[in-house]
Each structure stands twice: as C-alpha cells, then as structure tokens.
Amino acid sequence: MSSVNDEIIRIAARGDGVTADGRHVAFGVPGDLVQADGALVHGPHHAEPPCRHFPTCGACQLQHADEATLREFVTDRVLNAAAGQGVEPGEVLATHLSPARSRRRATLHGLKVQRGFVLGFREERSSRVVDMHECHVLRPELFALVAPLRQMLTKVAGRHPVDVALTLVDQGVDCAISGVVPEGLEATEALLDFARDHRLARLSVDHGFGMEATWEPEPVTVALSGVPVGFPQGAFLQPTQDGEDVLLSDAKVGVQGAETIIDLFSGLGTFAFGMAGARQTVAVEGARDLSLACRQAAGRAQLPVEAVHRDLFRAPLQPDELARFEAVVLDPPRAGAREQVAALARSPVARVAYISCNPSSWARDAKALIEAGFRLQTLRPVGQFRWSTHVELTSVFLR
C-alpha cells in the first residue's frame, strides 16, 4: 500500500509531478500514486494523451493531465508567483485556457536526412526534431502545410538545419524559411510553385542576409480590433485569437473611463487599437518596423492612435511624461519592465493594466507597484499555449 507521501499532489513549473515530500516524478499528475518500485499508478486526473508524438515532442508537456488539472496548473503558477512576492489580488478571475488546435503561429524545425526530410518541433530539451505527422495545438490551416512543406524542402534544402515560421494572417498563411539557399532555377521554381499552389499570403526566404519576400500577391496584414495592420517579417502576434480577445477585454476593463491612455511595449498595436475609443491613445514600441506599421494603420483608419518609436529598456518614460495620461497598458517581454515600472510607481498615474507572459517577472514588478500605493484589483491566469508549461496573465492595478 502507498503512503500519503507517495501521492502526487501538484505539478511543478517544468511539468513534473511532485509528492508531498518533494519527490519529482515524470508524467505524474495530482491523484496519481507512486509505488515503492517507482511505478506510477494513474489516478482520476490522468488523461490519455491525444497525440502520438507525446511525450517526445517538446511542444507539449502536459497532455497527460485532464482539463481540471491543466486549469489548476495555470492558476497555481500565477498565484504562487504572486504569493512569493507577498502580492494579494482583490479578485482572481476565471482562468482562461485556449482550446486544442488554436495556435495561429509557430516555428517548426527541419533537417534533411537520408530518407528525406524531417519537419516538426524539437524534442524536449534536445536539438533533435520530431517528424510531425499530427498536431493538436496548431490551427488546421497551419498543420495542412506540414506535409507539403516536407515534400518541397526535400527537394530544395541542403544539409543545414532549416527553420520554418508559420503565422496565420488576414490573407492566409505567412511562411518564412531560413537555412535554405535555393541553388539553380529548379529550386527557385519549387519554392514559387509551393507558394502559388498553397495560396500563401507570403513566402519569405533568408538567404543568409535577412528575410526577403519572394512571394506576396498583396500586402500582408493582421486585423487588430478590426483594423488591418501591416505585418512585418517576424512581427509578434498573440499565439491564439481567443487568448488575444481575453487579454484585450481585461485591459479595456482596467482602463475603462480613461480619456488618455498610453500603451507601453505596444508592438503592432494589439491593445492600442482596442483602446481607440479614448480621446488619445499613444502606442510606444522599441522595434521601429512595428511602430511604423502601427502608425500607418492608424493613419489609414483615421484613428486617434499615435505611434511612438522608443526603446523603453534604455529610455523608460519618466514620471513627468507619464503624468499626461490617466491610464497605462503594459505588455513587456518575458524580462518584465523593472525600470519602466519604477518610473511608473513615481508617477501620478492611477490605473495600470499589466499583461504578462512571465509570472515571475510580473510578480517582481507587481510588488514595486504595490509598494508605491497601488492595489491589485484583478488577476487572471491565462494558458494560451495549451498543454505547455508556458503561462500568461492579465492584471489591473489601481490607486
């Protein structure tokens, strides 16, 4: 008989099951029992993984967990990060999980081998590529290109590793390939035939000097709050449409009533265009091409969105600059926004909607805001990367 210490009680940050005495067990979920010989006896929350590539494929770590356990994992990651910094939310909103086959962007890896070409995600903690023949996270429009890509790359790829970035845009699929240098007319024609036959929105190839579009029948755009925005090579887009909708909805609630809003680390304007009903919305972004795309889209749509190019890591907005705005939207990279938050804490701004893709850096920044007099009104855990250990969140701070 197993003792209570042999029961899995939670899932650790990297996906292992953990017993009450701290033992880590691969592929354990709460309710599973670990026998004396190390064998795992599945409990009521252990699910049958839907994909043949699990657990080898590194895209998913938690396909063996049922829906309730996935939700609990995402929730606990966020709440534990907050508790670790002494941050207490006024209200924890319902955790959002993106459904299966909802990922609209992904980078696949490939390599020419003796038997042809392997293409897919890498194995967990390895450079080996899993040859993808099914996928339960990608949108069907993206997965439909995997087999044709494999066939085409068998003809044109050399012996160097290949990366293929796929993104679903307004016009179809944007495909960017690096690691392939087409040699001769036949290879070039194979690439163009592939783009035409599969009606790609854009096909770009990096010949070693940066991405160059070789096929783009019309300018590629993504719709952000109904506004078509030009999509530069490699631009950031939220991984799922449903996730973007939740993040934007929470941010809008957080700044509701504000007439002047500034969106920091704004990218293409995912949040700024959603706030366009305010009298003034300023979108600040450090990548010049993203800022320019935002500015041009706002101009075409005649919206009161002003795009500003500025590196917020090197030159964060200062308290006197922030004083012009009633509310701030903050969506920094994984490192968080330590310096910008420090300036924000010293400013008179009273409303902050903070979106994060890293609970740890968010919790550090949240503590700084609370020490400056803010209170954490709402907190929502978000799992856009289904069956992954990657967790996001939305939060609203008021003072």
Catalytic residues: 357
Q: Hey, what amino acid is at 189?
A: E
Long-range contact pairs involving 123-126 (C-beta distance under 8 Å, separation at least 24): 123/56, 123/57, 123/58, 124/55, 124/56, 124/57, 124/58, 124/61, 125/58, 126/58
Distance CA 173, CA 105 (A): 9
**Residue of 183, 215, 184 lying closest to 200 (CA atoms):** 215
For the purposes of burial, counting CB atoms within 10 Å of the CB of 319, is it exposed (0-12), middle (13-18) or buried (19 or more)? middle
CA atoms within 13 A on the CB side of 102: 17
* Residue 306: both structure tokens together: 């002003």
Distance CA 103, CA 240 (A): 5
SS3 (DSSP) at 382: strand
CA atoms within 13 A on the CB side of 311: 3
Q: Which residues contact 367 (CB under 8 A, 6 or more apart)?
A: 85, 86, 87
**Residue of 148, 246, 164 lying closest to 197 (CA atoms):** 148
Angle at 186 between CA 171 and CA 114, to 5 degrees: 95
State the DSSP code for 45. T
For the purposes of burial, counting CB atoms within 10 Å of the CB of 294, is it exposed (0-12), middle (13-18) or buried (19 or more)? buried
Q: What share of the chain is helix, strand, coil (3-state, %, to 5)?
A: 25, 30, 45
Q: 158, 181 in Cβ contact below 8 A?
A: yes
State the DSSP code for 57. B
